[in-house]
Amino acid sequence: MKFIQNIKAKPFITLWGLAFIFLVYTLYSQFYLIDTTLDINVHDTYYVIALRHVYSLLLIWFGLCGLGYWVVLSKFSIKLIDWLTIANLVFSLIGLFQIILPINIFQQEPRYYSNTAFYKGDYLLSILLFFIGQIIYFLNVLLSTIKKVTIT
């Protein structure tokens, strides 16, 4: 229970921890997995993204979200809505891990485009959960700022 209270009190630490994990993944994929890609097949079109770009984008996103929580909590001393904070982290993590975990980061052989990393049912729900988590983040910051309950 103390773990949940710590997350509610300082959610930016969790987000900065995720940003650090993605920094490590970015550096690892930059130097050791140069040819690793994320392949998404939508109808007859393949979207091919370098995995290090996905990790870099997530690094920046979680770093900025952590910075936003830190500014609201530390600089403005505004109390966040607890259940929205937990919902943001849960939806973000569930969606994120369903997207990232199926990717084999230790893949050494090249992937051929007859077989993709994701199928529609697997990744659409994960992406939807991740985006719902990010909408909850903005709602949390906006509603907390409007309520202006300060931390004592």
- Rounded to whole angstroms, how far apart are CA atoms 28 and 148? 42
Encode the chain (152 residues) as per-residue pLDDT tens digits: 677 777 778 899 999 998 998 898 888 878 877 777 777 777 778 778 887 888 888 899 999 999 999 999 998 888 899 899 999 999 988 877 766 665 544 444 555 554 445 555 556 777 788 899 999 999 999 999 898 877 76
DSSP state of 115: S
DSSP state of 73: I
**Entry pTM:** 0.78
Report which secondary-structure segment, H or E, holds 136: helix 120-147
Six-digit token string for 60: 């920046």
How many angstroms separate the Cα of 34 from the Cα of each of 46, 52, 102, 112, 116? 19, 8, 18, 15, 18
